[in-house]
A and B are shown apart, each in its own frame.
Chain A
Amino acid sequence: MTQSAATSEGTAISAVPSLRRRRRSPFRRKLFPYLLVAPAVIYLLMITLYPGVYAIYQSFFFVTFTGWVPAGFENYTNLLRDREFWAALWNTLVIGGISLALECVIAMTLAFYAYRDPFIRGWRIIFLMPMLFMPSAVAFIWKLAFNDGRVVSDLLMQLGLISENIDFLGDVWNARLTLIVADVWQWTPFLFIIFVAGLQAQDKEIEEAARLDGASWPAIFWNISLPLMRPVIAVAVILRGIDITTMFANVFIITQGTPGGATETISYFIYRMGFRTFNFGYASAASALMLIFTIIVAQLLLKRFFRSGRA
């Protein structure tokens, strides 16, 4: 059948001798893919690259209401001497670092217990819930619970753990704890889901082999599953880490940087410099510095984890 089809087609072609094979110019052939992605690229450039470049440009000026005065690197040198900037950087590291560490440990523990559970789909949906709420709404809930409504203090008193109200926002570490709890509550599910997926993707036969080699589940986890999860953990930590360095909503709503700037993160510092004191050049310089820090740290982490994670 195919043979007869081929013959009839062959005669058809020879009957139209003027049929010309068209060639596209190599230039057009190469250009075509770029044309296809152009709209997306232009859109991305407009909403990310342009503001970014604009901010970096702005960081070399003193921006006042009357005009821009060239400042050279003065915004940067001022920043590096600014104790509030360094304090904000330290706060970000402390609050973000502790949050991230807790999130990782809790998410990994939950994932370890849950990933072999037949009800895992159900667990995933339940654990996903906190992520679905609006961050500002969650922040208000925690503000109520810790401060305005004193729910947490009340509960602790009912349990007999404390005897009088705790002023969560009046103490450096209590205030930081508030932010940490809020972040952990909302973002542990994100890591949990990534970790469960990572564990489920691991080769079942390797687990079975370890089982027959006499390993208990915790031993399998420590010796095999966890080391194999390195690249997954690295990606998750980097994604979450980048996100956490820009922690803003919770600070803005719950603590506003109090007490005494102990909970002022870099994002809040930039916001305060830009929109409270209208020192836009200074705020832009802080953003640019932060961008550089983040890129360096992320690159270091990625390189380290992926090099040694290779089998």
Chain B
Amino acid sequence: MAEIELRNVRKHWGDFVGVDDVNLKIADEEFVVFLGPSGCGKTTTMRMIAGLEDPSGGEVIIDGEVVNDVDARDRDVAMVFQSYALYPNMTIFENIRFPLRMRGVPKAQHVELVKRAAEMVELGDYLDRKPGALSGGQRQRAALARAVVRQPDVFLMDEPLSNLDAKLRSAMRVQIKHLQRRLKITTVYVTHDQVEAMTLADRIVIMNGGAIQQIGTPDEIYSNPANTFIAGFIGSPPMNLIRGRVEGGTFIAPGVKVEGIDAESGRAVTLGVRPEDCHLNSAPAEMTGIVFGIEPTGDQTLVSLRTDDDLFEIRADRDFRAPLDTTAHISFDRDRLYLFDGVSGERLR
């Protein structure tokens, strides 16, 4: 049970600014994902919540109490590390029991609590092994069990799935989400993988360059990106961003012409179209390009088109095939177009 609040939190090392003035409120039992490219400050922000890093300024508040000066071991926070950080000299049982021992939980309860935590992550058979004898996925589950065994106030996860292969990753994703719903523990999850963010989060916090770019539910972020950075980061494949200008209500870029754009003439803008909002057309329409590559994924076909100076990706039917260098005409879903300022990248429409 805990609310987390960050008030004007900053972190810098000398002149280097890692996290710049972050304000954020995380509700009790909420699952929040920090999403951003590497070096954007998401992990540093999480480490400040954990108490592993001291903020250079601002306040970290857990359950109404400013915890800036509270040592990491005295915040009731559990963390799952990217490297799992299991204790190699202990068996899995000892690993999971360690937080109980250190926090003075009565010995009589240890065995039962450890067993219950291990069962939650389906790890019961491996308790007497050492971490070195487990696979990556099993280690990951052991790390999860160690975090949940003492029912912490806050759950922090630092890219916990990035060392797993794709199949295991999606399986563990479901497990983590299920576990969080069941235990009702406030969770902060750091990742650079937008699929993880979209599937897991109640709310996503997108960070770049040490600052928060946008906070919102996955749906909000997907359908209302605040700027070109977010638009280009979310979605797989991401939104197509076309740099061009507006002339008399028409957006013009090499190979692209979209009428009815509501912006003053001569303004540099960036037009955003998601790949699924583009449709192959038999007659010339908003865009014309030549086929650069075809990537069938089974349920759909991703088509890369080349315009004069850009590559453009659209989503086509699963049975679409075309030889390279064929000319293709594309129409856009007119009410699903995004318009960004050409200079600042901020959303205009």
Contact = CB atoms under 8 A, between A and B. Distances in A.
Interface string B111-149: 000000000000000000011100000000000001000
A205 B83 contact: yes
B81 to A, nearest CB: 5
B72 interface: yes
B185 to A, nearest CB: 14
A228 interface: yes
B67 to A, nearest CB: 13
B83 A214 contact: no
Contacts of B79: 208-209, 212
A215 B102 contact: yes
A203 interface: yes
B52 interface: yes
A224 B98 CA distance: 10
Interface in B283-312: none
A228 B89 contact: yes
B78 to A, nearest CB: 6
Contacts of B146: 209, 213
B50 interface: yes
B81 A209 contact: yes
A205 B156 CA distance: 14
A213 B88 contact: no
B73 A216 contact: yes
A208 B98 contact: no
Interface string B71-99: 01110011101110111111000000011
B69 to A, nearest CB: 15
Given A203-B83, A205-B83, A212 B132 contact: no
B52 A211 contact: yes
A205 B73 contact: no
A112 B81 CA distance: 24
A224 B86 CA distance: 10
A306 to B, nearest CB: 14
Given A212-B73, A212-B78, A311 B98 contact: no
B98 A210 contact: yes
B103 interface: yes
Given A203-B83, A208-B52, A212-B78, A227 B102 contact: no
Nearest to A204: B85
Contacts of A157: none
Interface in A256-292: none
Contacts of B102: 210, 213-216, 219
A219 B74 CA distance: 14
A213 B52 contact: no
Contact of B88 (A210, A212, A311): A311
B89 A205 contact: no
A206 B87 contact: yes
A203 B52 CA distance: 15
Contacts of B86: 206, 209
A165 interface: no
A223 B100 CA distance: 14
Contacts of A211: 52, 72-73
A203 B98 contact: no
A214 B73 contact: yes
Given A206-B85, A208-B52, A228-B89, A215 B73 contact: yes
Contact of A205 (B77, B81, B131): B81
B111 to A, nearest CB: 18
Contacts of A205: 81-83, 85
A213 to B, nearest CB: 4
Contacts of B78: 212-213
Contacts of B74: 214
Contacts of B98: 210, 213, 215, 223
A288 B79 CA distance: 57
A310 B79 CA distance: 26
Interface of A: 203, 205-206, 208-216, 219, 223-224, 227-228, 310-311
Interface of B: 50-52, 72-74, 77-79, 81-83, 85-90, 98-99, 102-103, 130-132, 146
Given A208-B79, A214-B74, 13 more contacts: A206-B85, A206-B87, A211-B52, A211-B72, A212-B52, A212-B73, A213-B78, A213-B98, A213-B99, A214-B73, A214-B103, A219-B102, A223-B90
17 contacts: A205-B82, A208-B52, A209-B86, A210-B87, A210-B98, A211-B73, A212-B50, A212-B78, A213-B73, A213-B78, A213-B99, A214-B73, A214-B74, A215-B98, A223-B87, A310-B132, A311-B89
Which 8 residue pairs of A and B lie closest in terms of their CB atoms, listed nearest first?
Answer: A311-B132, A209-B85, A213-B99, A214-B102, A311-B88, A227-B89, A205-B85, A214-B103
